[in-house]
Amino acid sequence: MQIIDTHTHYDDEAFEQDREALLESLPGKGIEKVIDVGATVDSAYEAFRLAKKWPHVYCALGVHPNEVGELTDEILSDFERLSGEPKVTAIGEIGLDYHHEEPGREVQAVWFRKQIQLARRTGLPVIIHSRDAAQDTLELLREERAEEAGGVIHCYSYSPEMAQIYVSMGFYLGIGGVVTYPNARKLKETVQSVPMERILLETDCPYLTPAPHRGKRNSSLYLPHVVDAIASLRGMSAQEVIDITRENALRCFPKLKNPQEIQAAG
């Protein structure tokens, strides 16, 4: 089993007591690689530090829309400097969040645009956070030609119809623990309707723990539950889901590739 978890927050304080032991255990339990994704300025730098320390940990540099009040052009310049490092796989998580309108929508949009522009300059894909902001997110991505960078709509939560639009633009959809919830009808329809080649596995850990462990802290070790849910919805085997989503992750995030995989692709 070689599962790639494309969205984690192991820098989070929820892992303060056992972070080292948990990260060390992942490869032996079928989790081949994880991407630790920045949400605040501090967490982005911590994700970078974790990626430096652990061979199977990679990172994304970016700031969540509700945290962009702390962003500056100088910090983005530093992210750009670090973007050439081998373990920096993406710019994210970036986007719009109208569920918590802090800072205001205009401020969120300004920094969303700047971080997309950063991704296009660096040639890195984007990891998009969008909550209660479906139309504005899509319009802004189009205006900034984000499809030229590519990337993933993280924790996809909108309609199957909008999913088809994102897929047609070349984006991937991040699918995590929510797909195991009984009331996640729209997401289950989306998983059934989009091409399997556009689905990525993710946890968003420590959040969004899949059933039957809902209420506990999430980790990559619970991803088999997500795999099983997707396999059931698609009429596939769990191993097929793992294999296809692994290839998808390597296409979406080329820096995840091992030297032999780069050689084979070239």
Number of domains in the chain: 1
pLDDT of res. 263: 45
pLDDT of res. 258: 75
Mean pLDDT for 96-107 is 94
Q: How far apart are CA 64 and CA 129, in angstroms?
A: 7
The residue range of the domain holding 58 is 3-265
Ordered alpha helix ranges (H), 71-158 = 73-82, 105-122, 134-143
Separation of first and last alpha carbons in the chain: 25
157: CATH: 3.20.20.140
Give pLDDT tens digits for 2-11: 999 999 999 9
Closest by CA position to 176, among listed 212, 200, 151: 200
Q: How far apart are CA 252 and CA 35, in angstroms?
A: 12
Beta strands in the chain (DSSP E): 3-8, 31-37, 57-61, 88-97, 126-131, 151-153, 172-175, 199-201
Calculate ∠ Cα 223-220-242, nearest 5°.
Answer: 45
Q: Is the pTM of this model over 0.75?
A: yes
Residue 55 has pLDDT above 70, yes or no: yes
pLDDT of res. 173: 98
Give pLDDT tens digits for 162-197: 999 999 999 999 999 999 999 999 999 999 999 999
At residue 147, what is the residue type? Answer: E
